[in-house]
Structure 1
Amino acid sequence: MDRTFVMIKPDGVQRGLVGEIVSRLEAKGLKLVAARFEVLPEPRVTDQYKEHLSKPFFPSLKKYIMGGPVFLMVWEGRNVVAIVRKVIGATNPQEAAPGTIRGDFGIDIGRNVIHASDSPESATREIAIHFKQNELSVYTRIDESVLYEY
């Protein structure tokens, strides 16, 4: 099975959306294998957003991400990166389809509720930034036999 990284950003936490988001991903059939609630330290924010370090919006992004607690998660499932990206919707909530997390809960691109890895390579990198290997659970969900064709 594949894994991906998902972070409910400070605006999602502040708005009480953690349970709703976890429920949507679980209802889709994905398996939660790690989770942690914390305020991110600066070195991990810099690692997480290293491709944006030189962009003019990075200082405000860093302040925002470090401005409150986030909920970090690792999800598992077949083709999980693409599935999660569809469930969360387009980066700009104004372009996100209704029924997606950003389409239902976001208004502004700078407060779009959630982050998810955009590729399997990004997922591997982002998971390693936030979780040690021994923090990732290995188990079988009771419904896996009806979720997947083997």
Structure 2
Amino acid sequence: MQRTLTIIKPDAVRAGNAGNILAHLQKEGFRVIAMRQTQLSEAQAKAFYAVHAERPFYGELVEFMTSGPVIPAALEREDAVSKLREVMGATNSKEAAAGTVRNLYGTDIQNNAIHGSDSPENAAIEVAFFFPTCELV
């Protein structure tokens, strides 16, 4: 079994799609092992997305991720990282394949409903970022 992190982003939480997204992930075989709703501070968002600090979209990303509540969740299943990337769809919701989370619940490259870890190494870091002292079940 492998673990990964997803974040249901502010646009999807605002639109009331969090439950649908979680149900979609569970239908794909993911087990939720930790989850909470939180409001990211600017410092937290900057720390989480520090890898993108030099990219032109960094400021907008931080602003967006602090614009409302988010729901981070640690997920588990075989090949969790690659399977979540597949189920999420392309970063730009307009280019995401039919039936993917971003196609169903996102609207564009920023308002794309969901984040997913991009590697097993980053998954471990990201899970620990949101659930540092939790006992994952």
The TM-score, its normalising length taken from structure 1, stands at 0.86
What are the equivalent positions in structure 2 for 1:18-33 lying under 5 Å apart?
A: 18-33=18-33
Match of 1:45 in 2: 45
State the identity as a percent.
41
Equivalent pair of 1:47/1:129 in contact (CA under 8 Å): no
Deviation at 1:19? 0.5
Cα separation, 2, equivalents of 1:77 and 1:30: 5
What are the equivalent positions in structure 2 for 1:44-123 lying under 5 Å apart?
A: 44-123=44-123
Instruction: Give, as a single letter, the amino acid of the residue that structure 2 aligns with 1:134.
Output: C
Is 1:34 matched up with 2:48? no
Cα separation, 1, equivalents of 2:135 and 2:84: 21
Match of 2:2 in 1: 2
Cα separation, 2, equivalents of 1:8 and 1:85: 14
Instruction: Give, as a single letter, the amino acid of the residue that structure 2 aligns with 1:32.
Output: V
Deviation at 1:47? 2.0
Aligned length: 137
Cα separation, 1, equivalents of 2:82 and 2:56: 29
Deviation at 1:107? 2.3
Equivalent pair of 2:12/2:106 in contact (CA under 8 Å): no
Cα separation, 2, equivalents of 1:63 and 1:78: 34
Cα separation, 2, equivalents of 1:133 and 1:35: 13
Between structure 1 and structure 2, the one with the greater Rg is 1
Cα separation, 2, equivalents of 1:51 and 1:23: 30
Q: Unpaired segments of 5 or more residues in structure 2?
A: none
User: Greater CA deviation, 55-64 or 13-22?
Assistant: 55-64
Higher relative CO (CA 8 A, sep ≥ 6), structure 1 or 2? 2
Structure 2 SS opposite 1:118: coil
Deviation at 1:54? 1.9
